[in-house]
Amino acid sequence: MLELRNVTKRFGDTLAVNEVSLSFPAGQMVGVVGRSGAGKSTLLRLINRLAGADQGRIIFGDLDVGTLQGKALRAWRARCAMIFQQFNLVNRLDVLTNVMIGRIGTAATLPVMFKRFPEADRVNAALALDRLDLLSQALQRADTLSGGQQQRVAIARALMQKPSVILADEPIASLDPRNARLVMDALRAINRQDKITVITNLHTLDAARAYCDRIIGMAHGRVVFDGTPAQMTRAVTQQIYGDDTDPAVDENLTSTMASIGSAIAADARQLEAAL
Ligand SMILES: Nc1ncnc2c1ncn2[C@@H]1O[C@H](COP(=O)(O)OP(=O)(O)OP(=O)(O)O)[C@@H](O)[C@H]1O
């Protein structure tokens, strides 16, 4: 069980996360939704300790996450793997090595720096890639893959950390609808098969409704909704997104923008390859 008790984070005068209390039983798939600036990313960064809370406590089992230092903090970060919108792969390295990099934090640093990974890591990385249907790309440079494939490599890398929790910060925001579906399918399969808790920020309510057991709605740093997709009524979406915003319009806009974005990225890759 992961628990946030009265957690607050300020940036100057901005209350990014404001007295948030939440419990996440092991194995849940949770979507966090809200307008831009609602505090979704900060919430995930607080859990992973990429940011420190000003107030409140984060508890995981018998760990008091806010007090962890040094090796214990690194071990915690490995246990709650983070996935980002922009994948954060090392472009010039091959896919397999990118996945093995997930061992940093749990393995000795020096051999990893020199890309000397034990045989067991290679096997586990290959198995993780196979699960994500990417084994045939294992020896390609990371930047030759599509955005959706790169995000699945990032998920395979996260699996190498043997995490208890996966925190995904807008994992599909820059993907076209097909790749977004593949990435969400992969996250849900891992959640179901490995019983890993997945907490993911999502721009679209559609994705949260389709994939998550539970949706948390944030507005102005506070939790304004916490329930099942079925409980997400029109009144609730207005509370999360504001009276003047129709989330259906936002969703269309987001997926259109995502399609345009990936078309531009694909053109850029073709151009780069031709040069
Ligand atoms: N490092 C920072 N320095 C100053 N202000 C910050 C910082 N990080 C976040 N904020 C502010 O905290 C608030 C919450 O930001 P956060 O990124 O958590 O929102 P979000 O819901 O994830 O938004 P988005 O969907 O646009 O990513 C915003 O007002 C943001 O400007």
Q: What is the DSSP letter of 142?
A: G
Evaluate: CB of 112 within 6 angstroms of ligand 1. no
Number of domains in the chain: 1
| Nearest-atom index, ligand 1, CA of 17 | 14
CA distance 94 to 189: 25
Evaluate: CB of 199 within 6 angstroms of ligand 1. no
- Exposed e or buried b per residue across 90-117, where buried means at least 16 C-beta atoms within 10 angstroms of its C-beta: eeebbbbbbbbbbbbbebeeeebeeeeb
* Span 226-265, pLDDT tens digits: 999 999 999 999 989 986 454 443 444 344 344 434 443 4
Least confident piece of the model among 47-51, 52-56, 133-137, 203-207:
203-207
Q: Is 215 left (phi over 0), alpha (psi -120 to 50) or beta?
A: beta
* Span 26-66, pLDDT tens digits: 999 999 999 999 999 999 999 999 999 999 999 999 999 99
CA distance 129 to 136: 9
ipTM of the prediction:
0.97
DSSP for 173-228?
TTS-HHHHHHHHHHHHHHHHHH--EEEEE-S-HHHHHHH-SEEEEEETTEEEEEE-
Say if residues 216 and 224 touch (Cβ distance below 8 Å): no
Question: For atom 2 of ligand 1, which residue has the closest CA?
Answer: 11
Give 128's contacts (C-beta < 8 A, 6+ positions apart).
99, 156, 157, 159, 160
Give 116's contacts (C-beta < 8 A, 6+ positions apart).
none
C-alpha 259: how far from chain center: 20
Evaluate: CB of 217 within 6 angstroms of ligand 1. no
> Residue 180 carries which side chain, given as an amino acid letter?
A
Full domain range(s) for residue 76 = 2-274
Mean pLDDT of 175-192: 94
Query: pTM of the prediction?
Result: 0.86
Q: What is the DSSP letter of 169?
A: E
CA distance 222 to 34: 10
* CATH number (domain holding residue 176): 3.40.50.300
Question: For atom 18 of ligand 1, which residue has the closest CA?
Answer: 39
Structure confidence at residue 62 (pLDDT): 92
